[in-house]
Amino acid sequence: MKKILIASGITICLMSGCTHNPTKGSGAGNGINSFLRGIAHLVLSPLQIAAGLLEGVASLPYYASTGLHEINKGLEDAQANITLDDTYESAYGKRISEVSKDGETNDRFRRMKHASSYLQKILKSYGVDDHESYYLTSIDTANKQGATLFAVVYRPTTSIKVIDKYNHKTVRNFTSADRLFYEPFAKDINGNNLDTIIDWAGIPVESYKSQKMQAVLLTLAANSIIDKKRRDDYWVVEKRWIAGESAIIMNQQNSKTNKSILSKKSASIQPTT
């Protein structure tokens, strides 16, 4: 199928934000669907793959229609510390040359415990000394509306005592075996600083269902860690997300990411018919 080249500066209507400001409630799902339709057939150029690397985990949805090997080559050309090939070898035990084009090896994660285990394997292979202190976390309050708030965190402990972030009064004890251990916490029960946020993004649920896209997520997260990124703006965003503002947050986030990635050299769009 012939590709249609789109000039740099292409504008995609994100989260329906081109026409209105998203609000709380069911409109969030409609906005996410609009965003995903807008980028559904976007194939990134090497420069755009590199731009996505700089944006971090927020760029994940933009990689959906770009091939596994093309993404890996773009990361290699951008001199990424961790490529998709590195992720597949470290996390799944296979080189991408051994993997089908869809990226599946039947190793998809469903919980952040397992996602964090993969992330730590990748960091260990790269030589990060405290690899076991990095976690991939999620806030799932908007999952039914189609989006998850992910954060890459540094937490130098495998057990925590914290105040429940939803009722703000119950004392909770979590270990790495507990599901809610894999949510970010700013402070422990004594008010001591706990998590350092490396990177974060609101990501459509549809954008991390496949193993290929999970591998891209892990790759972007690992590079953010190795590049020593830090996002101090997370905690305010988390409160807004839990309060029901996920659509607004994603509209703001995706508008920024859109400008960063799509301002680079031409992408191409593969028509469906």
The model's confidence at residue 27, banded by pLDDT at 50, 70 and 90, is low
Tens digits of residue pLDDT in 141-164: 999 999 999 999 999 999 999 999
> Is the pLDDT at 128 greater than 80, yes or no?
yes
Tens digits of residue pLDDT in 54-92: 999 999 999 999 999 999 999 999 999 999 999 999 999
Query: How much of the chain, in percent, has pLDDT values that exceed 90?
Result: 81
Residue 11: the pLDDT is 44
* ∠ Cα 211 212 213 (to 5°): 90
For residues 193 and 133, give the distance between their C-alpha atoms in angstroms, rounded to a whole number.
15
Residue 263: the pLDDT is 83
Please, how many CA atoms are within 13 Å of residue 270, restricted to the half-sphere of its CB?
A: 11
> Is the pLDDT at 190 greater than 80, yes or no?
yes
Mean pLDDT over the full length of the chain:
89
Distance of CA 37 to the CA centre of its chain: 18
The model's confidence at residue 40, banded by pLDDT at 50, 70 and 90, is confident
Q: Which residues of 136-157 are buried (b: 16+ CB within 10 A; e: fewer)?
A: bbbbebbeebbbbbbbbbebee
> Is the pLDDT at 18 greater than 50, yes or no?
no
Higher pLDDT: 47 or 265? It is 47
Residue 90: the pLDDT is 98
Residue in this structure with the two tokens 């690992």, named with its chain if needed: 222
The model's confidence at residue 9, banded by pLDDT at 50, 70 and 90, is very low
The model's confidence at residue 3, banded by pLDDT at 50, 70 and 90, is very low
For residues 76 and 83, give the distance between their C-alpha atoms in angstroms, rounded to a whole number.
6
Residue 49: the pLDDT is 97
CA distances from 220 to 94, 152, 157, 212 (A): 19, 10, 23, 12
> Is the pLDDT at 273 greater than 80, yes or no?
no
User: What is the mean pLDDT of the segment spanning 16-36?
Assistant: 60
Please, how many CA atoms are within 13 Å of residue 62, restricted to the half-sphere of its CB?
A: 30
Residue 10: the pLDDT is 42
**Within a 10 A sphere around the Cβ of 249, how many other Cβ atoms?**
21
> Is the pLDDT at 272 greater than 80, yes or no?
no
Please, how many CA atoms are within 13 Å of residue 272, restricted to the half-sphere of its CB?
A: 4
Cβ contact 176:159 at 8 Å: yes
Query: How much of the chain, in percent, has pLDDT values that exceed 70?
Result: 86
> Is the pLDDT at 230 greater than 80, yes or no?
yes
The model's confidence at residue 29, banded by pLDDT at 50, 70 and 90, is low
**Within a 10 A sphere around the Cβ of 223, how many other Cβ atoms?**
25
Cβ contact 185:268 at 8 Å: no
Per-position DSSP letters for 172-208, written without gaps between them = EEEETTSGGGGS--SB-TTS-B--EEEEEEEEEGGGG
Helix (H, G, I), strand (E, B) or coil at 35: helix
pTM, whole model, 2 decimals? 0.89
Q: What is the dihedral of CA 184, 61, 230, 86, to 10 degrees?
A: 100
